[in-house]
């Protein structure tokens, strides 16, 4: 699967995808990542990619020409490219979106900067728009990395053990149960003794009970949905 990050600041992203699980996925060719910088496409004689807002308002906006030319070129060379804009003014990205997008051949993640992007660029090019939460970031790079990471985990072969996807939070309406590792006792805190006895069906029941408690406490919305879905 291919990802293209459209960003004025590719360096902010590059290091994240050069290490650990996702770095290995890149090296093994499970995912491919490239970058397009709108500044490389600007026709402005001072190399500018931003301008004041028409109609007033504080701050600058990314101008249409560099992004439009770049995206036109990208779509010509990759007709199946699925173009996603990151913006706080959009529906929230979820695990279901991550799974669905992992079936795409090529996802393009467009990051805004300044006060955002001229709306005409989004109207003309967006296959989808996503927010990662109800807060304002300085730029779309973090948000686009969040999407790329969450989508990549669902691409076949990226995770060493595909089973780990199945038990993760958001795969069912329940959050994942608390987990423990060695040592069995750490600074007077023992892991739940039932976990040590090797009775897998009992551990499964116990984990489900703990997952229910955790979900009810932290995410009552998911808990309510889970209970309704089971009826």
**Residue ranges of the binding site:** 112, 132-137
Residues 160-179 binding ligand SAM (CB under 6 A) are none
Cβ distance to ligand SAM smaller for residue 5 or 223:
5
Shortest Å distance, C-beta 126 to ligand SAM: 12
Number of residues that bind ligand SAM (CB under 6 A): 20
Shortest Å distance, C-beta 133 to ligand SAM: 5
| Burial tier of 59 (Cβ tally within 10 Å: 0-12, 13-18, 19+) | exposed
Edge to edge, what strands does the sheet with 82-86 contain?
Answer: 32-36, 2-6, 106-110, 82-86, 128-130
Helices (H) and strands (E) in the chain, counts: 9, 9
Name the one range near ligand SAM by CB under 6 A: 6-14, 76-84, 138-146, 174-182: 138-146
137 binds ligand SAM (CB under 6 A): yes
Q: How far apart are CA 142 and CA 180, in angstroms?
A: 30
6 binds ligand SAM (CB under 6 A): no
| Burial tier of 43 (Cβ tally within 10 Å: 0-12, 13-18, 19+) | exposed
Specify binding-site residues for S-adenosyl-L-methionine. 112, 132-137
136 binds ligand SAM (CB under 6 A): yes
Could you say which of 14, 21, 43, 89 contacts ligand SAM (CB under 6 A)? 89
Residue 47 tokens read as 């190399």
**Pure H helices in 135-196:** 141-152, 163-166
Name the one range near ligand SAM by CB under 6 A: 24-32, 41-49, 114-122, 221-229: 114-122
CA distances from 175 to 25, 53, 194, 212, 213 (A): 26, 43, 20, 8, 9
Cβ distance to ligand SAM smaller for residue 67 or 117:
117
Which of 80, 56, 65 lies closest to 4, judged by CA?
80
26 binds ligand SAM (CB under 6 A): no
226 binds ligand SAM (CB under 6 A): no
Interacting residues toward ligand SAM by CB under 6 A: 86-89, 111-113, 115-117, 131-133, 135-140, 143
């Amino acid at each position: 699967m291919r990802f293209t990050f459209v960003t004025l600041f590719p360096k902010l992203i590059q290091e994240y995808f050069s290490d650990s699980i996702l770095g290995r996925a890149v090296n093994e060719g499970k995912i491919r990542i490239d970058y397009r910088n709108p500044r490389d496409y600007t026709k402005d004689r001072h190399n500018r990619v931003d301008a004041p807002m028409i109609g007033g308002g504080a701050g600058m906006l990314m101008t249409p020409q560099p992004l439009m030319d770049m995206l036109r070129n990208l779509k010509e060379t990759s007709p199946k490219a699925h173009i996603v804009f990151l913006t706080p003014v959009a529906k929230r990205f979820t695990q279901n979106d991550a799974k669905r997008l992992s079936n795409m051949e090529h996802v393009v993640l467009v990051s805004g900067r300044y006060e955002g992007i001229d709306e005409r660029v989004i109207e003309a090019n967006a296959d989808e728009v996503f927010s990662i939460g109800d807060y304002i970031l300085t730029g779309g790079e973090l948000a686009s990395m969040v999407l790329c990471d969450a989508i990549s985990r669902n691409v076949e072969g990226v995770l060493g053990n595909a089973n780990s996807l199945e038990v993760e939070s958001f795969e069912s309406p329940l959050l994942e149960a608390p987990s423990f590792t060695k040592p069995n006792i750490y600074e007077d805190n023992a892991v739940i003794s039932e976990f040590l006895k090797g009775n897998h069906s009992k551990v499964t029941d116990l984990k489900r009970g703990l997952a229910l408690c955790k979900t009810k406490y932290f995410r009552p919305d998911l808990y309510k949905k889970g209970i309704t879905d089971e009826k």
